[in-house]
Structure 1
Amino acid sequence: MTWLSTCAGAVLVLFVLRDVFHTLWHPTRHGGLSRLAMRTVWRLSSRFGRRLRPTGLAGPIGMMTVVALWTLTVAVGWALLYWPRMPDGFTYSAGLTPEEHSGPLDALYLSLVTLATLGLGDVAPATGWLRVLGPVEALVGFALLSATVAWILGIYPALARRRALALRLSHVRRSPATAQALDSDGGAALLDGLASALSTVTVDFLQYPESYYFYDVDERTSLPGQLGYAVGLADQAARARHPDVRLSAAVLRTALEDLAAVMDERFLGAGLPPERVFAAYAADHGRDRLS
């Protein structure tokens, strides 16, 4: 029983640490637990779309769910390490009867207190290796808190860049720009800027895949609704007479294809051409693709 509980606890702790690493620090991977949680919340939000998606709550709730799962799983894992060794391996403060405070809930309480670095001291490890294990859990708790803060501070700038690109495309679409105006040096510069912004957004989707599950309420800042126009713009510029415009259009088209490949591989999995990938992306976010 002791070894079974110890192995199960160690597996849970290592599983969460691996998931945190792949979600936050590996540049091109996404942890399995975090991916499952975000997708589950996103799919549930489609059933209750009037409440979650139009208000933009699906993404934040998904992130909160991931953090809660990480914390609870780590706490349970360490509790499984403590429980078989209670009460003999621990000291208790005056007023606590060791035999009455050595159950699974007491082990979970001790794990949560240690993970949160509260250090209440009413139950403390007494034997040698347990005295080392407690501070290690506290360090993991501090690292988990720091990682969560870094995750939040990283994803919201990525969302801002995505929304800025969508708004830029909306500006171009709503401007009086004509095909003749696009066929100029200024048109080439415009296309180059859009291609550069698309490259940045593609990297953001690679490093912060959970940003896919954030719904943008304003149509002007919703990238799913604007990418169809970007495809049409690239196709229109490809027929320009100005060689720089044609070159910029080819670069823009390549940037769109790269973004579509990342979306199809990571989120949609349909093996579709870019135009249909963006249409599926817009449909998944409840948007009509603009063209």
Structure 2
Amino acid sequence: MKWLVSLVGAGLVMITLRDLFHTLWHPTRHGGLSRLVMTALWRLARRFRAPGRVVGLVGPLAMVTVVGMWALTVVLGWAIVYWPHMPGAFTFSPGSKAAQEPALLDSLYLSLVTVATLGLGDIAPDEGWLRLVSPLEALVGFALLTATVSWVLEIYPALTRRRVLAIRLALLRDADPTTPQIDGTAGALLLESLATEVARVRIDFTQYAEAYYFHDGEDHSSLAAMVGYATVLAQRGQAAERPEVRLAGALLTGALNDLAAILDQRFLHTGGPPTAVFAAYAADHGRDGAQP
């Protein structure tokens, strides 16, 4: 029975590590804890029509919630591993009152101390297999901390790339170049560079799906509001006379179609054409979408 309880705790730890792995290093559209938490908070904020400042907190708050749940589950899982073997399989420092406490409390305490890599030493494993398991928990705690830092450092550059593209589209919308104006080498380079940036954002939505649930602030920095104008530029490029401009317009159209497919597959589920997907994307982020 003791081993069965310990296996339950080990299973809880493995579930957490699997979720962490699929969130950071092998993202899938099947989601996990992070996707469930972020989707729930996002839908809740949109359903009650929370103001922009509140919606802007959804992404960071969801990340903090997910990391907290990861840490809590790891600590609880390892405490369950220790619990059936407490106190007989452990050595307590002289004068310590820890052995007088309930076994579950001592197990939680030991798990917290170990996962935080504090190494206080007042409770130490005595059996051989536990002496191997405890350092492993410390390694998992270190990996969790490293993964959290890595997650933050990966998400925010992705947000920056998305917002830079939105601002660039906003500036182009204000200038509103016509088909004759982009029918040249400069126009071809412009459309090709936009296609490259759209492709980068598409990859970001694949690799860092949680970035979708971050609010972009004002319209000029919101891709949800500005992506519609990119389709206008692509159409004008394809209507140009120069073949290199038409090619660049076709590249931008292809990149936008690919982006729409990812947005629809992972987040929106409209089943419609790219224009409908971008309209749903704008609506989901509280935007109207840029019009020609």
TM-score (norm: length of structure 1): 0.95
- In the alignment, the residues of structure 1 paired with residue 128 and residue 68 of structure 2 have an alpha-carbon distance, to the nearest angstrom, of 31
Question: 1:275-286 counterparts in 2 under 5 A?
Answer: 275-286=275-286
Residue 9 of structure 2 is aligned to residue 9 of structure 1: yes
Partner in structure 1 of residue 199 of structure 2: 199
My pick for the range that moved more, 27-36 or 229-238, is: 27-36
My pick for the range that moved more, 258-267 or 100-109, is: 100-109
Letter in 2 for 1:166: A
Is this contact kept in 2: 1:87–1:101, CA < 8 A? no
Partner in structure 2 of residue 161 of structure 1: 161
| Identity of matched residues, % | 56
- In the alignment, the residues of structure 2 paired with residue 214 and residue 99 of structure 1 have an alpha-carbon distance, to the nearest angstrom, of 47
Question: 1:122-271 counterparts in 2 under 5 A?
Answer: 122-271=122-271
Aligned length, in residue pairs = 291
- In the alignment, the residues of structure 2 paired with residue 99 and residue 142 of structure 1 have an alpha-carbon distance, to the nearest angstrom, of 27
Distance 1:95 1:108, change over 3 A: same
Distance 1:89 1:102, change over 3 A: farther
The alignment partner of 1:254 has SS state of helix
Is this contact kept in 1: 2:45–2:54, CA < 8 A? no
Partner in structure 1 of residue 68 of structure 2: 68
Over the residues paired in the alignment, what is the CA RMSD in angstroms? 1.7
Q: Deviations over 1:58-98 (max 9, x none)?
A: 10011111111111111111010001110101122233345
Distance 1:277 1:106, change over 3 A: same
Q: Runs in 1 of length 4+ with deviation above 6 angstroms? A: none
- In the alignment, the residues of structure 1 paired with residue 77 and residue 52 of structure 2 have an alpha-carbon distance, to the nearest angstrom, of 32
- In the alignment, the residues of structure 1 paired with residue 201 and residue 116 of structure 2 have an alpha-carbon distance, to the nearest angstrom, of 35
Structure 2: which 5+ residue stretches go unaligned?
Answer: none
TM-score (norm: length of structure 2): 0.94
Is this contact kept in 2: 1:54–1:217, CA < 8 A? no
